[in-house]
Amino acid sequence: MGKYALKADTSLSDGVYARVRDLLREGELMPGQRVSESEICGRFQVSRTPAREAIHRLLNEGFLTLGSGGRPVVAEIDIDRAEEIYDMREAIECLAARLAAKKARTNDLLELRRILEEQRAGSTSEADFLEINDRFHGCVYRISGNRYVQKTASILLVSAGMIRGSTQGKYDYDSRSLLEHEEIYQAIENGDSAAAEEAMRRHTRNGRFQRIALIARQKES
């Protein structure tokens, strides 16, 4: 089971649900791919009940949809859905940055600095960059101190991961991300909520433009 082993401090149903979301976020389950109870049972060594409950929750959240014959498959990400996802991401990311600028303490700033130092050292691949990128944003969510921001962000990260999976290997992760992260950090360090929100908005919109442009080109090809 490796990195997808179930955590001891969660219910079996919640644990299976969280691990399947990880598979979706990390692109190990691709759009259009069938997701079956038997596959989940085999992968996580669980009975059909938690597998069935996980599939039901993911269907309700729109990560899975019913394909031919009524079988659950990973939802396709089209341009309209990607736009909706980025609308929500911008709202949540900007709120998180605004709150983080108000609440960040010294240890929080040190953690963000360590992540930025890793990013400055350079990434060897898109996957490497995304791991660092997600830690930076996850740290901002945590610093915000808002449980609803954190919960909503965790769902949106799965959706973002599904968009990433459909455009993997084509994203220009080196062009602006580091500079934009440093601008976000500086505003948070300065306690400037308005500047943090604006820096995060620019960052989110730049990522949105590039990802959706990639999806559009794929649809045309």
pTM (global) more than 0.85: no
Which pLDDT score, from 0 to 100, does residue 211 have?
A: 82
Q: Does one domain contain both 108 and 189?
A: yes
How far apart CA 206 and CA 177 sit, in angstroms, is 9
Task: Show the CA angle centred on residue 134, arms to residues 54 and 216, nearest 5°.
Answer: 80
Examine the domain organization and report whether 122 and 204 are in the same domain: yes
Give the bridge partners for 66, in sequence order: 72
Question: Which pLDDT value is given to residue 38?
Answer: 93
Domain shared by 55 and 153, yes or no: no
159 lies in the same domain as 175: yes
Quick one: 33 and 117 in the same domain? no
Q: Which one-letter DSSP state was computed for residue 70?
A: G
Q: How many domains does the chain have?
A: 2
Tell me the average confidence (pLDDT) per consecutive run of 10 residues in the chain, 221 residues long.
Answer: 47 87 81 90 91 92 86 86 91 98 98 96 80 93 96 85 63 76 98 98 91 77 61
Residues spanned by the domain of 14: 2-74
So what's the pLDDT on residue 9? 41
Q: Check whether residue 103 and residue 180 sit in a common domain.
A: yes
Other beta carbons less than 10 A from residue 188's beta carbon: 28
